[in-house]
Amino acid sequence: MLIDLHSHTTASDGLLEPGELAVAAADAGIDVLGVTDHDTVDGISQARTMAGELDLEILGGIEISCFHNGLEIHILGLGIDEHANGLADFLQQLMDARVERFRAMVERLADLGVELDAEEILASTESSVGRPHVARALIEAGHVASIHEAFDRYLNRGKPAYVERFKLEARTAIERIHAAGGVAVQAHPGAMGRDTDIPGLVEAGLDGLEAFHPEHSPSARGRYEKFAQEYDLLLTGGSDFHGDDAGRATRLGQCTTAEQQFNDLQERCNRYRA
């Protein structure tokens, strides 16, 4: 069983449409794919529809950007029901904040003499707009040569076009994930996060850690396995696939979730679905 529980579609900053992602996952031999777009569930149903024709199961998911002790982290909601009561209203707030942040970034760039057409970018974005969309527009307009250069010159924290995001508390994100019947798993804690924050996140309801991620070293993976033992946490893995030419190239199935862990995850979801 190949179980990849972290991927992105054109509903956020992935390059493949949800249906195309499902086809690519099936081609890669994946049995279960978690569709986890940034702050949106809009890609899930289309991925499911295509998966119905393939030998593939889609696990409903999301990757929520939030803050804990002032530091930005990402929390995966795995096994969520994308139609859960109240979820759409909550996510609409995050979408509105993303559009506002996006417009502020385009204004900062204009102040630097770098002109982009905000409306055109928004019109060609399906749901969840983010820095990668700005980066791609910067390439298209000839201002930079690569995604890496766009982040390095303009978009990374501390660079001139960086704009703070909406300050969603991790605790709230975790509560919303549970209310939608999913488990809350900290995404790539070794790439974004502080290990010393993990106990506080567990106290806030965190269910697991994404120990297996392309940006994790073997030693990071080992640390999270120890945390999982100590705090009774799930361990998941996923490729964080965004497409083949998305700046950070990963392969579908590059990191996966063990079958036993996946069973434990589904069991834990049942706690929240009662």
Binding site for ligand AMP (CB under 6 A): 13, 38, 65, 130-132, 147-148, 151, 242, 247-248
* Residue 164, CA distances (Å) to 16, 33, 158, 167 in order: 27, 31, 10, 8
Q: How far apart are CA 59 and CA 69, in angstroms?
A: 30
CB of 254 to ligand AMP, least distance (A): 15
Touching Zn ion, residues 47-66 (CB under 5 A): 63
Residue labelled with tokens 């593939």: 56
Q: What is the 8-class DSSP label of residue 80?
A: -
CB of 201 to Fe ion, least distance (A): 15
**Binding partner at 66 among Fe ion, Zn ion, ligand AMP, none, C-beta below 5 to 8 Å by kind:** none
Residue ranges in the chain assigned as alpha helix (H): 18-27, 44-51, 87-111, 118-123, 131-140, 147-150, 170-179, 198-203, 218-231, 259-273
Task: Return the exposure string of 11-27: e unless at least 16 CB atoms fall within 10 Å of the residue's CB, then b.
Answer: bbbbbbbbbbbbbbbbe
- Complex with ligand AMP: residue 83 or 148, whichever CB lies closer: 148
CB of 248 to Fe ion, least distance (A): 8
**240 counts as binding Zn ion under rule CB under 5 A:** yes
Residues contributing to the site for Fe ion (CB under 5 A): 13, 74, 187
Neighbours of 221 (CB within 10 A): 17
CB of 53 to Fe ion, least distance (A): 27
- Size, binding site for Zn ion by CB under 5 A: 2
- Complex with Zn ion: residue 116 or 238, whichever CB lies closer: 238
Residue labelled with tokens 């149903």: 45
- Complex with Fe ion: residue 142 or 167, whichever CB lies closer: 167
- Complex with ligand AMP: residue 128 or 257, whichever CB lies closer: 128
Q: How far apart are CA 94 and CA 98, in angstroms?
A: 6
Q: How far apart are CA 244 and CA 229, in angstroms?
A: 35
**Binding partner at 262 among Fe ion, Zn ion, ligand AMP, none, C-beta below 5 to 8 Å by kind:** none
**37 counts as binding Zn ion under rule CB under 5 A:** no
Which of the stretches 98-106, 140-148, 191-199, 240-248 binds Zn ion when contact is defined by CB under 5 A?
Answer: 240-248
Q: In the structure encoding, which two tokens stand for residue 136, read together?
A: 């791609």
CB of 162 to Fe ion, least distance (A): 16
Residue labelled with tokens 């790439």: 191
- Complex with ligand AMP: residue 38 or 178, whichever CB lies closer: 38
CB of 247 to ligand AMP, least distance (A): 3
Q: Which residues of the chain form contacts with Zn ion (CB under 5 A)?
A: 63, 240
